[in-house]
């Protein structure tokens, strides 16, 4: 099994490098000279160039890129243009909030979507089925931040049940998690439903019934176990969307996380901060996908047995 | 021979349309979209852009929906209905243009990869995979971060973020067609590669591509509104639905109409596109429905 | 003294699909005695699988509708049984095995657990250890090593998978085994092995078997009695000797045997039966074989033939059925 995990980790590295290269390339397209911004208009061009040479900003592209990667691996992501504080500090402080939001959001998404999807499939064309499909369709057609705003309108402002901003208690994460998870809920409901429908039509389900299994066992032990395989994969793919939703939810609910950091950095053209934020989020997503891959390797006996014998 | 294929194609399109027509939800989506398109195109005939949507009128600010202002007015006294109408034009324009550009570039990349296979395919798809590993919104934000805000940069950012998806779809469509025998036959005659792609492969592959294109217009509208909401997309005073929501957010406690109507507009537009996309998917291959 | 195990009278099964109603089984009569192997023979689409599924009441839920005058198994009235009553019968008193072993086993559960399952369903009080022991026993009985019970289905070959399926079906020692083309999907060499094994097990466990097949060679080797189906009806039934030898046969049976290549004879061409099976979406009046029968009579088009006494050699054909309470041969 270790071979499988190692293999997956190895495959991750070129992807991460690729992402960092793309992001670095994009950021280097930014117009404007950060040195000029630092020293102001009074300095002469020669002085600016001298400082640029000293800082290595005039070096060829790949030299700068590899320097960045080298530094990044040691935890040095440069200093914020705005605050002159090492970028890493700010990211480290905000990272936990975003992760919390993502975790709650994922849990919420799974706990809601899976049962609804399964029931929809078993009772196809019933009221639950049609209602869930309609709900999924509507959810996927609305911007998640708008859902967030509506939730705030209803639960915070009108009913005063849940807080609208900040991160002081777990209650503060309820509405933001729902907001972040909303786009993935509809995907997961539909995916669970269609996977279950496919699995229920399989021959081994008929065999189970022929053995005298109750419907409950047929659904839970035979159908769901098999349906879980593609569903787990989808949960992994969904995580990217979930993080996007989380970043937007942060702005609606004024949560100090990577999302709000990224957006304010972009507005203020704080390139090192933007670069690091994007990288961190991309790395987080890749890492989660890696975990999902490994989990999948464990729950699919075909993969597990292939690697177990070595 | 050409006439036969032309007739076959026509009747195939017709049967797809007939199947589509039977789907009530899909027809509803089509009607909805048609209304939105008409509104966008003919907006100028009913309203004046500068007078109704842009210029401020502080005397009438923050009015609730009622006479004179169907959806009420915003914090600057501008009629919300007019702004939403013009917002339709912007959203549809950005959405369709983005998909058109992304589809074109994506199709070229995907077709090349799919048709030539081998190393070309490998390299191209690896690059696409890395792009796909970054969520499209994040990618769009990075590009906007680099280039700056504004409509043109936004279009570039959105297009680039959607190219990989279309490249993949076109490639897989082509791979599934390529294996079929009539392609081998055409190649055996000595037909030029580009001609094979254009004349034989693309018409058959076009179905899933159109479905994806329709759905992507919807997701583009959502992403653009999200970006505008956080200030990275279309800038005020242009009446984009997302930025309207951003403006209304601070005042929504006492003036909920500021956030309800623009949101409903977004939902209506995207819903119509989703219904059409799903309807097309079912009409193209009814076997896929459970 | 042969005891009646299974009795089916006038079974009708229809499938209500989006494209229309399919008449799968039309007035089928069948009896089985204890301890015998009955071969159910017919072309694809004759309704053999549907018949077996009806006995198990496993027809697809909203689509399949069955009704009968009588459907009894031993002392159980299957026709009127509730869902729970049927569930208790399945796997314990009546088992069914299906055609394709590749897809009949759940890929994510070990083989041992799948066999143990059927025991757990029906022997709720048994301790884990005794169930485990029984699993080992039954694996050995089908010729597999008990060590393999922690393996997954994909680690077995086709023939071995089918052995597992058979083990699952026989674990509770059911009185009746419905085998739907159990060897059709296997290699020819494995077929013989599996059939042999089934025969031995059947004798050891005193199980009766309904063997569905389209392979007359298999029937000759393993069955005691044979029922031949056509278009949802049993058109001929008798002992293996009566069917394979003897002079009186339903014209369809004649055609069936005539279309088998015979290595001992020198023939220029095979003799296929002309035409196709009738459209299952249309109910036919009269004899279903009318359109293709080389010996048809006028009456065959409009009137369904009756069935001669079930105990003996039954031939459902106007050429043979009594009109005046006597067996007549060859009407003008």
Report the residue of A25, A145, A255 to disrupt the B interface, i.e. the one with the largest count of B CBs within 10 Å: A145
Per residue in B110-152, pLDDT tens? 888 887 888 888 888 888 888 888 888 888 988 888 888 888 9
- Kindly state the percentage of chain C with pLDDT values over 70: 91
C250 SS3 class = coil
B240 or B18: which leads in pLDDT: B240
Interface touch C104/A207, C-beta < 8 Å:
yes
Report the residue of B138, B164, B274, B289 to disrupt the A interface, i.e. the one with the largest count of A CBs within 10 Å: B138
Per residue in C83-140, pLDDT tens? 999 999 999 999 999 988 889 999 999 999 999 999 999 988 888 888 999 999 999 9
Cβ atoms of B136 and B161 within 8 Å: the answer is yes
- What six digits make up the tokens of C85? 């009553």
**Looking up tokens 């507009």, which residue turns up?**
B265
Per residue in A145-196, pLDDT tens? 999 999 888 887 777 777 777 777 777 888 889 999 998 999 999 999 989 9
Rounded Cα gap, residues A3 and A189, in angstroms = 34
Any A CB within 8 A of B66 CB: no
Answer whether C touches A (≥3 Cβ pairs < 8 Å). yes
Pick from B127, B130, B259: CB nearest A149: B259
C156 SS3 class = coil
Rounded Cα gap, residues B28 and B145, in angstroms = 39
Cβ atoms of A84 and A244 within 8 Å: the answer is no
Cβ atoms of B83 and B244 within 8 Å: the answer is yes
Average pLDDT, chain C: 85
Distance from CA of A300 to the nearest CA of C (A): 7
A97 SS3 class = helix
Rounded Cα gap, residues A225 and C235, in angstroms = 44
- What six digits make up the tokens of C266? 């020198």
Rounded Cα gap, residues B249 and A151, in angstroms = 12
Answer whether B touches C (≥3 Cβ pairs < 8 Å). no
Pick from A204, A211, A301: CB nearest C91: A211
Rounded Cα gap, residues C143 and C127, in angstroms = 25
Interface touch A210/C90, C-beta < 8 Å:
yes
Rounded Cα gap, residues B104 and C47, in angstroms = 53
With residues binned 3-state (H G I as helix, E B as strand, rest as coil), the percentages for chain B, rounded to 5, are 80, 0, 20
Confidence class for position C327, pLDDT limits 50, 70, 90: very low
Any C CB within 8 A of A226 CB: yes
Q: Does residue C322 register a pLDDT over 60?
A: no
For strands C225-230 and C208-213, give the pairing.
Answer: unpaired
Q: Indicate left, alpha or beta for C42 from its phi (over 0: left) and psi (-120 to 50: alpha).
A: left
Pick from A248, A278, A285: CB nearest B226: A248
Residue B21 has, within 13 A of its CA and on its CB side, a CA count of 6
Interface touch B135/A146, C-beta < 8 Å:
no
* Exposure b/e, A71-97, CB count within 10 A at least 16 = b: ebeeeebbbbbeeeebbbebbeebbeb
Residues A166, A169, A170: CA angle, nearest 5 degrees: 110
For strands C4-17 and C94-97, give the pairing.
Answer: unpaired
Per residue in B67-99, pLDDT tens? 778 888 888 888 888 889 989 999 999 999 999
Distance from CA of C111 to the nearest CA of A (A): 12
**Predicted local distance difference test score (pLDDT) of residue B201:** 63
Any C CB within 8 A of A225 CB: yes
B274 SS3 class = helix
Report the residue of A208, A214, A230, A302 to disrupt the C interface, i.e. the one with the largest count of C CBs within 10 Å: A208
Per residue in C219-273, pLDDT tens? 988 899 999 998 888 988 989 988 888 777 888 888 888 776 666 666 666 677 7
Closest among C291, C235, C283, C287 to C23, alpha carbons compared = C283
Q: Does residue C64 register a pLDDT over 70?
A: yes
C178 or C185: which leads in pLDDT: C178
Any B CB within 8 A of A235 CB: no
Cβ atoms of C66 and C80 within 8 Å: the answer is no
B8 SS3 class = helix
C95 SS3 class = strand
Residue B73, beta-bridge partner list: B79
Whether residue B153 is preceded by a cis peptide bond, meaning omega within 30 degrees of 0, is no
Within 163-222 of A, beta carbons closer than 8 Å to B belong to 194, 197-198
* Exposure b/e, B249-282, CB count within 10 A at least 16 = b: beebeebbbbbbbbbbbbbbbbbbbbbbbbbbbb
Per residue in B229-284, pLDDT tens? 988 888 888 889 999 999 888 888 888 888 999 999 999 999 999 999 999 888 88
Rounded Cα gap, residues C133 and C280, in angstroms = 48
The H-or-E segment that residue C67 falls in is strand C64-67
Cβ atoms of B174 and B201 within 8 Å: the answer is yes
Q: Does residue B289 register a pLDDT over 70?
A: no
Average pLDDT, chain A: 85
Give me the mean pLDDT over the B200-229 stretch: 86
What superfamily would CATH give domain C4-93+174-331?
A: P-loop containing nucleotide triphosphate hydrolases (3.40.50.300)
3-state secondary structure B206-273: HHHHHHHHHHHHHHHHHHHHHHHHCCCCCCCCCCCHHHHHHHHHCCCCCCCHHHHHHHHHHHHHHHHH
Rounded Cα gap, residues A163 and A176, in angstroms = 10
**Predicted local distance difference test score (pLDDT) of residue C309:** 64
Pick from A204, A225, A305: CB nearest C152: A305
Average pLDDT, chain B: 83
B227 or A68: which leads in pLDDT: B227
3-state secondary structure A74-89: CCCCCECCCCCCEHHH
pTM of the predicted model as reported, rounded to 2 decimal places: 0.83
Distance from CA of A226 to the nearest CA of B (A): 18
Cβ atoms of A26 and B142 within 8 Å: the answer is yes
Interface touch A225/C105, C-beta < 8 Å:
no
Rounded Cα gap, residues C13 and B284, in angstroms = 34
Rounded Cα gap, residues C242 and C39, in angstroms = 13
DSSP-assigned states of every residue in A27-48:
HTT--S-HHHHHH-TTS-HHHH
Confidence class for position B7, pLDDT limits 50, 70, 90: low
Rounded Cα gap, residues B223 and B233, in angstroms = 9
- What six digits make up the tokens of B16? 């797809």
Rounded Cα gap, residues B172 and C212, in angstroms = 43
* Exposure b/e, C308-330, CB count within 10 A at least 16 = b: beeeebbbbbbbbbeeeeeeeee
Pick from A243, A248, A278: CB nearest B230: A248
**Predicted local distance difference test score (pLDDT) of residue B263:** 93
**CB-count exposure of residue B206 (10 Å: 0-12, 13-18, 19+):** middle
**Predicted local distance difference test score (pLDDT) of residue B249:** 87
For strands C233-239 and C314-315, give the pairing.
Answer: antiparallel
Per residue in A17-49, pLDDT tens? 888 888 888 888 877 777 777 777 777 778 778
DSSP-assigned states of every residue in A142-194:
S-HHHHHHHHIIIIIIIS--S--S--SSGGGGHHHHHHHHHHHHHHHHHHHHH
Distance from CA of B81 to the nearest CA of A (A): 18
Cβ neighbours of B218 in A, within 8 Å: 141
Give the residue extent of every domain in chain A. Answer: 2-73, 97-267
Q: Does residue B288 register a pLDDT over 70?
A: no
Rounded Cα gap, residues A194 and A209, in angstroms = 21
Residue C72, beta-bridge partner list: C7, C77
Per residue in B141-200, pLDDT tens? 888 888 888 889 899 999 999 999 999 888 888 777 777 766 677 777 776 666 665 666
The H-or-E segment that residue C37 falls in is strand C37-41
Rounded Cα gap, residues A130 and A128, in angstroms = 6
C184 SS3 class = coil
ipTM score of the complex? Answer: 0.84
Q: Does residue C1 register a pLDDT over 70?
A: no
A-to-B residue pairs, Cβ atoms closer than 8 angstroms: 126
DSSP-assigned states of every residue in B183-205:
HHHHHHHT--HHHIIIIIIHHHH
Any C CB within 8 A of A123 CB: no
Give the residue extent of every domain in chain C. Answer: 4-93+174-331
Confidence class for position A86, pLDDT limits 50, 70, 90: confident
Give me the mean pLDDT over the C150-154 stretch: 92
Q: In chain C, which residue's Cα lies nearest the Cα of A202?
A: C103
User: How many of the other CB atoms lie within 10 Å of CB of B130?
Assistant: 20
Rounded Cα gap, residues B135 and A180, in angstroms = 14
- What six digits make up the tokens of A68? 């960045």
- Kindly state the percentage of chain C with pLDDT values over 90: 36
Lowest mean pLDDT among A67-71, A80-84, B27-31, B224-228: A80-84
Distance from CA of C293 to the nearest CA of A (A): 37
Residue B55 has, within 13 A of its CA and on its CB side, a CA count of 8
Per residue in C295-310, pLDDT tens? 888 888 887 887 766 5
Fold that domain A97-267 belongs to in CATH? MetI-like fold (1.10.3720)
Rounded Cα gap, residues B32 and C239, in angstroms = 70
Give me the mean pLDDT over the A205-231 stretch: 92
Backbone angles phi, psi at C97, to 5 degrees: -120, 145
Confidence class for position B202, pLDDT limits 50, 70, 90: low
Give me the mean pLDDT over the C41-55 stretch: 90
**Predicted local distance difference test score (pLDDT) of residue A90:** 85
């Amino acid at each position: 099994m270790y071979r499988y995990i190692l293999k997956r980790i190895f495959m991750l590295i070129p992807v991460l490098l690729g992402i960092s290269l793309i992001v670095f390339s994009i950021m280097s397209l930014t117009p404007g000279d950060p040195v000029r911004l630092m020293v102001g208009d009074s300095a002469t061009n020669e002085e600016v160039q001298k400082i640029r040479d000293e800082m290595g900003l005039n070096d060829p592209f790949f030299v700068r890129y590899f320097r960045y990667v080298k530094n990044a691996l040691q935890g040095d992501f440069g200093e914020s243009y705005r605050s002159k504080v090492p970028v890493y500090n700010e990211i480290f402080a905000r990272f936990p909030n975003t992760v919390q939001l993502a975790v709650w959001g994922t849990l919420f998404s799974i706990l809601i979507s899976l049962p609804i999807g399964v029931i929809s499939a078993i009772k196809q064309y019933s009221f639950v089925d049609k209602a869930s499909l309609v709900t999924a369709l509507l959810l996927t057609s609305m911007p998640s931040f708008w859902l967030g705003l509506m939730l705030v309108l209803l639960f915070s402002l009108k009913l005063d049940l849940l807080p609208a901003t900040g991160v002081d208690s777990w209650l503060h994460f309820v509405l933001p998690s729902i907001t972040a998870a909303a786009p993935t809920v509809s995907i997961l409901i539909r995916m669970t439903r269609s996977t279950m429908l496919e699995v229920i039509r399989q021959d081994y389900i008929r065999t189970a019934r022929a053995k005298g299994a109750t419907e409950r066992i047929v659904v839970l032990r035979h159908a769901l176990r098999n349906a879980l395989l593609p569903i787990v994969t989808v949960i992994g793919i969904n995580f990217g969307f979930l993080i996007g939703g989380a970043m937007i939810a942060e702005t609606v609910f004024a949560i100090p996380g990577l999302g709000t950091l990224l957006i304010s950095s972009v507005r203020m053209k704080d390139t090192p901060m933007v670069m690091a934020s994007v990288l961190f989020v991309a790395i987080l997503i890749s890492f989660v996908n890696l975990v999902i891959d490994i989990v999948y390797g464990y729950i699919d006996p075909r993969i597990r047995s292939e690697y177990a014998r070595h | 021979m050409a006439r036969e294929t032309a007739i076959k194609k026509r009747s195939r399109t017709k049967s797809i349309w007939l199947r589509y027509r039977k789907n009530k939800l899909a027809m509803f989506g089509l009607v909805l979209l048609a209304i939105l398109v008409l509104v966008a195109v003919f907006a100028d005939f009913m309203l004046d852009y500068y007078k109704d949507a842009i210029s401020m009128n502080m005397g009438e600010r923050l009015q609730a929906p009622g006479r004179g202002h169907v959806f009420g007015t915003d914090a600057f006294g501008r009629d919300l209905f007019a702004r939403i109408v013009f917002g339709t034009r912007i959203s549809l324009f950005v959405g369709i243009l983005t998909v058109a550009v992304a589809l074109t570039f994506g199709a070229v990349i995907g077709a090349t990869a799919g048709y030539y296979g081998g190393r070309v395919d490998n390299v191209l798809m690896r690059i696409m995979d890395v792009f796909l590993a970054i969520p499209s919104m994040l990618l769009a934000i990075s590009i906007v971060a680099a280039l700056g805000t504004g409509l043109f940069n936004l279009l570039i950012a959105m297009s680039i973020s959607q190219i990989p998806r279309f490249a993949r779809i076109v490639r897989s469509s082509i791979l599934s067609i390529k294996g079929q025998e009539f392609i081998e036959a055409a190649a055996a005659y000595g037909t030029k590669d580009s001609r094979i792609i254009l004349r034989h492969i693309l018409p058959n592959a076009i179905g899933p591509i159109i479905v994806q294109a329709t759905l992507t217009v919807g997701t583009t509208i959502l992403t653009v509104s999200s970006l505008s909401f956080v200030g990275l997309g279309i800038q005020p005073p242009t009446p984009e639905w997302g930025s309207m929501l951003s403006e209304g957010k601070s005042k929504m406690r006492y003036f909920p109409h500021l956030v309800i109507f623009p949101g409903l507009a977004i939902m209506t537009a995207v819903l119509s596109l989703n219904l059409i996309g799903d309807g097309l998917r079912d009409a193209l291959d009814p076997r896929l429905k459970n | 003294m042969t005891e009646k195990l299974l009795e089916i009278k006038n079974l009708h099964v229809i499938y209500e699909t989006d494209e229309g109603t399919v008449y799968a089984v039309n007035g089928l009569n069948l009896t089985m005695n204890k301890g015998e192997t009955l071969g159910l023979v017919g072309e694809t689409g004759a309704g053999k699988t549907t018949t077996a599924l009806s006995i198990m009441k496993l027809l697809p839920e909203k689509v399949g509708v069955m009704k009968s005058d009588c459907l009894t198994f031993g002392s159980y009235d299957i026709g009127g049984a509730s869902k729970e009553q049927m569930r208790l019968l399945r796997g314990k008193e009546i088992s069914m095995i299906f055609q394709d072993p590749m897809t009949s086993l759940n890929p994510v559960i070990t083989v041992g657990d799948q066999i143990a399952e059927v025991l757990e369903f029906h022997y709720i009080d048994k301790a884990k250890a005794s169930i485990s022991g029984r699993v080992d026993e039954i694996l050995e009985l089908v010729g597999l090593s008990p060590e393999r019970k922690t393996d997954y289905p994909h680690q077995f070959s086709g023939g071995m998978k089918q052995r597992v399926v058979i083990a699952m079906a026989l674990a509770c020692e059911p009185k009746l085994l419905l085998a739907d083309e159990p060897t059709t999907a296997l290699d020819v060499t494995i077929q013989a092995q599996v059939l042999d094994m089934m025969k031995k097990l059947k004798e050891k466990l005193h199980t009766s078997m309904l063997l569905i097949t389209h392979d007359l060679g298999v029937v000759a080797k393993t069955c005691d009695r044979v029922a031949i189906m056509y278009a949802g009806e049993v058109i001929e039934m008798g002992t293996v000797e009566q069917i394979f030898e003897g002079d009186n046969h339903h014209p369809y049976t004649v055609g069936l045997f005539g279309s088998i290549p015979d290595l001992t004879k020198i023939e220029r061409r095979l003799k296929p039966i002309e035409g196709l099976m009738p459209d299952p979406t249309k109910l036919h009046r009269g004899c279903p074989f009318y359109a293709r029968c080389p010996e048809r009579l006028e009456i065959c088009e409009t009137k369904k033939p009756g069935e001669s006494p079930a105990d003996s050699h039954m031939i459902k054909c106007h050429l043979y059925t009594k009109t005046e309470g006597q067996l007549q041969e060859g009407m003008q």
